Amino acid sequence: MKNYPLFMSALALLVLPSYATAQAALDSPAFEVASVKRNPSGGNRIEVAPGRLSVTSATLATCIKWAYGVQDRQISGTNSSVSDLLNSERYDIMAKSQELDPESQLRLMLRTLLAQRFGLRFHKQKTETRIFALLVDRNGPKMIPSPGDGDSQQQAQSRMMRQWKRTTMKQLAETLSEAMETPVLDETGLPARYDFSLNLTPYLPANDERPDIAGMMVTAIREQLGLKLESRRVAVDVMVIDRLEKPSPN
């Protein structure tokens, strides 16, 4: 089972579906069974397994980000009531599909659920923002090509340390998008799957200052993986939420 978020975890898509596509979600792949319940306790966690989605006390913003592969700065509300609902209410969502569908299909199904149960409608507009490109550093990668087959796996060794197995650089870039709070694009050109780990503990401040996770990540990526994150400014699509409401009954 995969657990989100990671490091305090998404796809970095710079092109969003159009408003018409959001409406068409009503006819898109859907869960066979889905339960939605309000849960204000906190947690903001999404877990997935083949054919199953488990959301624990997550905001609608978190659900939208996971379903559409965007970051915080790529979502905005058209009015205060929509903006408030994005982050003020938390929900548990337990959903299953008929087959053992992969994560990519579960994301599409969550889009359908958000449209059907929460009335999600949006349009897109372009805005200039900062992104990061993931590149190979000048001395080359320090990762080990994975000897095994199978899906990518991620495991938390501690709050500040993660281990990856059989992971592509595109999958790593998707994970880094959440930690950097902006899209990260894979431009390494590395085609293999790798086993590696990242440990942010050595970069924690000695005093009680709030840690700069993004800055720590840039250093750790370079020193531990032989990669680098290069900052760029590009025009990206932003989801402007036109309609969002409290869920319909189960």
Mark whether 101 and 193 lie in a shared domain.
no
Mark whether 18 and 117 lie in a shared domain.
yes
Q: Is residue 242 part of a domain?
A: no
Q: Is residue 14 part of a domain?
A: yes
Q: Is residue 248 part of a domain?
A: no
Mark whether 6 and 111 lie in a shared domain.
yes
8 A C-beta contact, residue 122 and residue 68: no
Q: Is residue 246 part of a domain?
A: no
Mark whether 229 and 192 lie in a shared domain.
yes
* Domain boundaries, position 104: 2-126
The pLDDT, as a whole number, for residue 2 is 53
Q: DSSP assignment of 175-234, as one string?
A: HHHHHHTS-EEE-S---S-EEEEEE-GGGS-SSSPPP-HHHHHHHHIIIIISEEEEEEEE
CA 174, CA 152: separation in Å to the nearest integer? 12
Mark whether 138 and 210 lie in a shared domain.
yes
Q: Is residue 84 part of a domain?
A: yes
Mark whether 106 and 141 lie in a shared domain.
no
Mark whether 181 and 152 lie in a shared domain.
yes
pLDDT, tens digit (0-9, with 9 covering 90-100), for 92-133: 999 999 999 988 899 999 999 999 999 999 999 988 888 899
Mark whether 90 and 28 lie in a shared domain.
yes
Q: Residue 208 — very low, low, confident or very high, per pLDDT cuts 50/70/90? A: confident
Mark whether 197 and 141 lie in a shared domain.
yes
Q: Is residue 240 part of a domain?
A: no
Which residues, 6 or more positions from 208, have their beta carbon under 8 angstroms from its beta carbon? none
Mark whether 148 and 46 lie in a shared domain.
no
Q: Is residue 247 part of a domain?
A: no
CA 111, CA 16: separation in Å to the nearest integer? 12
Mark whether 13 and 118 lie in a shared domain.
yes
The pLDDT, as a whole number, for residue 209 is 83
Mark whether 93 and 134 lie in a shared domain.
no
pLDDT, tens digit (0-9, with 9 covering 90-100), for 152-204: 888 888 888 999 999 999 999 988 987 887 889 999 999 999 999 999 999 99
How many domains would you assign to the chain? 2
CA 206, CA 26: separation in Å to the nearest integer? 51
Q: What is the pTM of this model?
A: 0.68
pLDDT, tens digit (0-9, with 9 covering 90-100), for 45-86: 999 999 999 999 999 999 999 999 888 878 989 898 899 999
